């Protein structure tokens, strides 16, 4: 009896002890990126749980008795399993968005589609990825992120645009890059008006089977931009801002001391005639003007580059509000961006406002409005600023005795010697851009599966350009100041109506139908005024009525339109066989009646091999996804002048008396001969590829091969004077472009505290002319069948320097130390027939490398891109190395190793005051200036820290992320110019710079 009593007592005490361990566990289910609550999340507890409550707002509470396991899931997010210790009372569960192919949705033309069902070549990038690289232009953030898409800088100045090419060369003369579709509105021109922080996703339609639904304007690809909308849930306020500085990266290594500089100048003259002009100070009066001689005696050296450049600030601030409660959704954002250029006087300022509103009127009707307004002020300095700063004699004075920029007038002739670069920084070109993009739409569900959508979009653009060149510049010197004002703008209207129907007659059969009609019209105008002869430079362009001469008054106006019908059918059988067919009919006012309409069909298919029964469990445990794709489509190019089919005579003025334009008459001069038989450029493209994922979706591979045949290429053909016209647009040839795109995504390490992911892409293409129409022998002396357009470098073949005892019969004017080139045609003389193809600017391949590391709250991102197999003509390097004269006097340090009778083992010609060595080549260039353009550029390094949410909860802050970033930290290349990515001449290119940023991203 005593034993039984003792046993009952122990059991009772044990129960009390266990009961004492019961406690309440409260938690939240949050989006890992935005830190917003995820309503209706599924929370399942495994273990000893006495009660469980999961609220609809994303919170939950559990009464637990010990250790438990939580399993949390939410549609579109990765499920998460968490071991919760018995002592824990609160928990925040951060869910990552699903990123595998099965969960992704991509935007296709006039609709969306699950990525697993996509049959064509479409690449996507999210807004989160765009935010990793602060840029002023969306295209700049896409550089080497999309396989097959080449995005290169058009320059480094603030507000500079980009050049975009998708899948190689698609035309030989006309084309403006891909078309952009922003929230359903087809837009042209660059995208610098759109704040990258407002972008939700970008989808690039690369092959014709994807792009054919956009028809005649899709030859160079389609970029679909979807801006942010309010997410479901409570109101959130977000801030994204950064501040940084930009520092110039050293470019050319010039002679930087007086002694070496004077030595080069003296040698350049003395070498012409050592007897008449012996080397030494005695010839200085012939070489240097009075200002230079005074500064030489005073050992005064002018650092022109230092005077016109500085460390420049850059900042951006975006504030957004998102409200997705109920049936009405609102997204508002405002952005302020201010980027000073490293060249003084250059600046880019953008103000933008964004509003997206959607409202569910009832269960069948939804309406919405998307708007974006931007105001840009862009000050652009002359390209001469940097060029003059590196070429003008450093012995010249930058300022006069009164402290003003010196005019540098030649006392003997009274002419301006050169444009003082300091003066040019004070006279930038002022541009003001205003742009409004808007789209209003309505969707009505007629019956189950049948939806009608109508949208009306508008794109209004206005550009104003103001220029003034004072008397202290070469442009304004003789004319007593020159002012120019230009106005340019358009109004674009787009009305689209589509009917979409989804139908599934049986479980294994799913159909999606689309039919639509669109109409787009543009009205564009331009006017220009130029005047000179101002009483003072203080007036600039603000009062042109005081000018004594109206030098030019011009204007232009045109409009064009495109009317289209389109259709699409998608059929899916058993979830693993997908067919997609589209067709579009475009009618364009740019073409004559016989060729006004064009048809652009496509067909594509996909086989989801992973869904086949023969892919057993053992295979699926290794391979998570496998899909094979193939497609064929036709797209077009209509980018020709709107009046190309009409004969046009150019108006001209002639003087009745004197020379003043006010006393001139009117006459018609030669112009363009019309061609009403012009046809569309037509591109037929075949694409095949596969998508593969394995190792638990940690390795993903996307491969594509494409082959494009372009027919009826358009060319503005010059005509002989005897024909009475200057040129005529014609269809001349056919071209082939084929290539490969490869993308590899790898999640190398995945643990709770540490992640390492990489994305590597690679692309290549080859283009060549395949056929010339009858009567056309070549498009140029070197561009013939088998050659690639827009990529040839043609010049003489460099053959070293002439030495004493050489045969000078090929170039009788040459002397020892001058450049020698090869006589390719063997006729015993050097002439234009000895020029040949010495390089190709098209790279053999290019791509990008992205790497991401995360350790607890810290993360680091490195992005680099590479290009190989291209040649670039760097004429600036050749001239800076070779040339020495009164107007271009700077010399690279390499130039000190010039040829002398005692130094013959060199490639640097003898210095010469008059450029005789170069003039002997007629063109002044040779293959010596052709350099390898291969490079690896580290574009961005970012180190970030996410403040733990437990520290922010009491302050009702969802998230705070801080980061430091270096943009353009490293460039590895053998190229000796400023930037191998731009690489055209390199004379007037804005110098490169490195940017250091500190940023904060917060959500409330």
- Kindly report the number of other CB atoms within 10 A of residue 164's CB atom: 23
> How far apart, in Å, are the Cα atoms of 133 and each of 351, 364, 864, 961, 965?
19, 41, 12, 15, 9
Rg (CA), the chain: 34
Q: Check if the beta carbon of residue 74 is closer than 8 Å to that of residue 94.
A: no
Mean pLDDT of 304-311: 94
Please calculate the CA angle 320-322-326 and round it to the nearest 5 degrees.
165
Reported as a single tens digit per residue, the pLDDT across 895-942 is 889 888 999 999 888 877 655 554 445 456 788 889 999 999 999 999
Q: Is residue 913 part of a domain?
A: yes
> How far apart, in Å, are the Cα atoms of 710 and each of 427, 590, 740, 775?
45, 19, 18, 19
Q: Is residue 436 part of a domain?
A: no
Reported as a single tens digit per residue, the pLDDT across 138-169 is 888 888 899 999 988 878 889 888 888 899 88
Residue 14: what pLDDT?
45
183: left (phi over 0), alpha (psi -120 to 50) or beta: left
| Number of domains into which the chain is organized | 3
Cα 910 to Cα 539: distance, rounded to the nearest angstrom: 49
Tell which of 308, 323, 358 closes a domain.
308
Q: Which domain CATH number covers 36?
A: 2.60.40.1120
Cα 865 to Cα 445: distance, rounded to the nearest angstrom: 46
Please calculate the CA angle 138-143-149 and round it to the nearest 5 degrees.
105
pLDDT band at 344 (very low <50, low <70, confident <90, very high): very high
Mean pLDDT of 864-881: 88
Q: Is residue 814 part of a domain?
A: yes
Q: Is residue 168 part of a domain?
A: no
DSSP string, 803-835: -TT---TTSTT--TTSEEE--TT-SSS--GGG-
Tell me whether residue 622 is exposed, middle or buried, using C-beta atoms within 10 angstroms of its C-beta: 0 to 12, 13 to 18, 19 or more: exposed
Return the C-alpha torsion angle 746, 747, 748, 751, nearest 10.
180
Tell which of 308, 340, 355 closes a domain.
308
Q: Which of 924, 707, 953 is nearest to 818 (CA)?
A: 924
Residue 666: what pLDDT?
52
Cα 485 to Cα 466: distance, rounded to the nearest angstrom: 5
Residue 952: what pLDDT?
85
Q: Is residue 800 part of a domain?
A: yes
The token pair at 33 is: 């990126």
Asked whether the predicted pLDDT for residue 17 surpasses 50, the reply is no
Residue 389 is inside which H or E element, if any? helix 384-391
Q: Is residue 961 part of a domain?
A: yes
Strand residues in 836-958 grouped as ranges (E): 836-840, 845-855, 858-868, 871-873, 930-932, 935-946
Tell which of 95, 114, 137 closes a domain.
95
Cα 736 to Cα 367: distance, rounded to the nearest angstrom: 45
DSSP tag of 301:
-
DSSP string, 30-80: EETTT--B-TT-EEEEEEEEEEEEE-TTSEEEEEEEEEEEEEEE-TTB--E
pTM of the prediction? 0.84
Q: Check if the beta carbon of residue 241 is closer than 8 Å to that of residue 960.
A: no
Reported as a single tens digit per residue, the pLDDT across 614-659 is 888 888 889 999 999 999 999 988 877 777 777 777 666 555 544 4
Please provide residue 279's backbone torsions phi and psi, each rounded to the nearest 5 degrees: -60, 130
Strand residues in 139-250 grouped as ranges (E): 149-153, 162-166, 179-182, 185-187, 199-205, 222-227, 233-248
Cα 352 to Cα 435: distance, rounded to the nearest angstrom: 9
Residue 16: what pLDDT?
42
Please provide residue 252's backbone torsions phi and psi, each rounded to the nearest 5 degrees: -80, 150
Q: Check if the beta carbon of residue 642 is closer than 8 Å to that of residue 589.
A: yes
Reported as a single tens digit per residue, the pLDDT across 230-242 is 877 778 899 999 9
Q: Is residue 186 part of a domain?
A: no
For 287, the domain range is: 245-308
pLDDT band at 391 (very low <50, low <70, confident <90, very high): confident
Asked whether the predicted pLDDT for residue 8 surpasses 50, the reply is no
DSSP tag of 741:
E
Q: Is residue 950 part of a domain?
A: yes
Average pLDDT, the chain: 85
């Amino acid at each position: 009896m005593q034993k039984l009593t003792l046993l009952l007592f122990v059991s009772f005490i044990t129960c009390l002890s266990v009961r004492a361990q019961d406690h309440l566990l409260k938690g939240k289910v949050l989006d890992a990126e935005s830190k917003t609550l995820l309503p209706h999340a599924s929370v399942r507890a495994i273990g000893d749980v006495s009660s469980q409550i999961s609220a609809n707002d994303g919170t939950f509470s559990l009464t637990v008795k010990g250790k438990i396991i939580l399993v949390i899931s939410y549609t579109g997010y990765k499920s998460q399993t968490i071991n919760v210790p018995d002592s824990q009372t609160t928990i925040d569960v951060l869910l990552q968005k699903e990123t595998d192919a099965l969960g992704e949705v991509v935007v296709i033309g006039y609709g969306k589609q699950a990525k697993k069902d996509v049959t064509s070549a479409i690449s996507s990038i999210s807004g989160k990825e765009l935010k990793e690289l602060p840029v002023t232009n969306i295209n700049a953030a896409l550089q080497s992120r999309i396989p097959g898409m080449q995005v290169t800088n058009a320059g480094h100045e603030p507000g500079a645009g980009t050049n975009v090419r998708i899948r190689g060369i698609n035309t030989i003369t006309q084309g403006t890059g891909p078309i952009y579709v922003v929230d359903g509105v087809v837009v042209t021109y660059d995208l610098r008006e759109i704040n990258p922080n407002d972008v939700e996703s970008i989808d690039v339609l690369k092959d014709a089977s994807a792009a054919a639904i956009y028809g005649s304007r899709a030859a160079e690809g389609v970029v679909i931009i979807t801006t942010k909308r309010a997410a479901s849930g409570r109101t959130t306020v977000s801030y994204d801002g950064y501040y940084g500085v930009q520092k110039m990266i050293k470019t050319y290594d010039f002679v930087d001391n007086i002694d070496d500089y004077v030595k080069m100048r003296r040698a350049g003259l003395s070498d012409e005639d050592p007897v008449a002009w012996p080397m030494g100070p005695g010839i200085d009066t012939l070489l240097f003007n009075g200002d230079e001689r005074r500064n030489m005696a005073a050992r005064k050296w002018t650092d022109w580059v230092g005077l016109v450049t500085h460390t420049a600030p850059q900042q951006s601030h975006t504030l957004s509000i998102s409200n997705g409660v109920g049936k009405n959704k609102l997204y508002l954002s405002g952005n302020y961006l201010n980027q000073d250029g490293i060249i003084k006087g250059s600046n880019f300022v953008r103000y933008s406002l964004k509003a997206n509103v959607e409202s569910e009127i009832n269960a069948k009707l939804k309406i919405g409005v998307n708007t974006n307004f931007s105001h840009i002020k862009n000050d652009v300095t002359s390209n001469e600023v940097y060029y003059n700063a590196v070429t003008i004699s450093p012995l010249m004075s930058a300022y006069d005795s009164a402290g003003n920029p010196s005019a540098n007038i030649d006392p003997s002739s009274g002419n301006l010697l050169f444009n003082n670069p300091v003066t040019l920084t004070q006279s930038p070109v002022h541009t003001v851009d205003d742009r409004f993009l808007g789209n209003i739409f309505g969707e009505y569900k007629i019956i189950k599966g049948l939806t009608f959508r109508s949208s009306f979009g508008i794109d209004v653009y206005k550009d104003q350009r103001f220029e003034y060149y004072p008397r202290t510049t070469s442009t304004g010197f003789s004319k007593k100041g020159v002012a120019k004002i230009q106005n340019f703008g358009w109004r674009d209207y787009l009305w689209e109506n589509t009917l979409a129907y989804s139908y599934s007659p049986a479980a294994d059969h799913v159909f999606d139908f689309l039919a639509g009609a669109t109409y787009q019209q543009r009205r564009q105008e331009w006017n220009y005024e130029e005047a000179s002869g101002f009483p003072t430079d203080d007036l600039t362009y603000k009062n042109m009525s005081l000018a004594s001469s109206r030098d030019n008054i011009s204007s232009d106006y045109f409009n064009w339109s495109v009317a289209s019908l389109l259709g699409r059918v998608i059929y899916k059988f058993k979830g693993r066989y997908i067919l997609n067919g589209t067709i579009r009919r475009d009618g364009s006012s740019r073409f004559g009646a016989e060729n006004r309409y064009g048809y652009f069909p496509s067909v594509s298919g996909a086989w989801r091999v992973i869904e086949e029964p023969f892919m057993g469990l053992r295979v699926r445990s290794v391979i998570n996804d496998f899909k094979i794709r193939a497609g064929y489509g036709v797209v077009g190019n209509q980018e020709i002048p709107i009046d190309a089919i009409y004969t046009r005579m150019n108006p001209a003025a002639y003087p009745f008396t004197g020379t003043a334009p006010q006393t001139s008459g009117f006459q018609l001069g030669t112009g363009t001969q019309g061609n009403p038989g012009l046809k569309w450029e037509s591109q037929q493209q075949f694409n095949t590829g596969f998508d593969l994922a394995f190792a638990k979706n940690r390795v993903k591979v996307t491969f594509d091969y494409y082959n494009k045949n372009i027919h009826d290429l358009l060319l503005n053909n010059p005509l002989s004077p005897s024909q009475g016209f200057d040129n005529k647009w014609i269809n001349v040839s056919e071209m082939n472009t084929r290539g490969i795109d490869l993308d590899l995504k790898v999640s190398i390490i995945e643990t709770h505290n540490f992640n390492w992911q990489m994305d590597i892409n690679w692309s290549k293409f080859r283009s060549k002319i395949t056929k010339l129409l009858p009567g056309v022998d070549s498009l140029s002396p070197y561009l013939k069948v088998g050659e690639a357009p827009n990529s040839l470098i043609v010049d003489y073949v460099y053959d070293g320097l002439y030495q004493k005892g050489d045969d000078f019969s090929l170039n009788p004017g040459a002397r020892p130390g001058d450049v020698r080139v090869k006589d390719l045609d063997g006729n015993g003389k050097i002439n234009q027939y000895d020029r040949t193809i010495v390089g190709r600017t098209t790279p053999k391949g290019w791509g990008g490398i992205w790497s991401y590391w995360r350790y607890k709250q810290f993360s680091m991102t490195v992005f680099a891109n590479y290009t190989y197999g291209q040649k670039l003509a760097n004429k600036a390097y050749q001239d800076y190395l070779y040339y020495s004269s009164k107007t271009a006097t700077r010399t690279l340090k390499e130039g000190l190793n010039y040829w002398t009778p005692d130094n013959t083992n060199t490639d640097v010609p003898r210095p010469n005051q008059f450029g005789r060595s170069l003039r002997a080549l007629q063109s002044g260039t040779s293959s010596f200036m052709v350099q390898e353009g291969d490079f690896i550029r580290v574009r961005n390094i970012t180190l970030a820290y996410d403040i733990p949410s437990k520290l922010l909860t009491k302050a009702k802050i969802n998230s705070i992320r801080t980061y430091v970033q270096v943009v353009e930290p490293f460039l590895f290349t053998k190229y000796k110019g400023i930037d191998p990515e731009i690489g055209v001449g390199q004379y007037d290119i804005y110098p490169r710079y490195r940017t250091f940023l500190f940023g904060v991203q917060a959500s409330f």
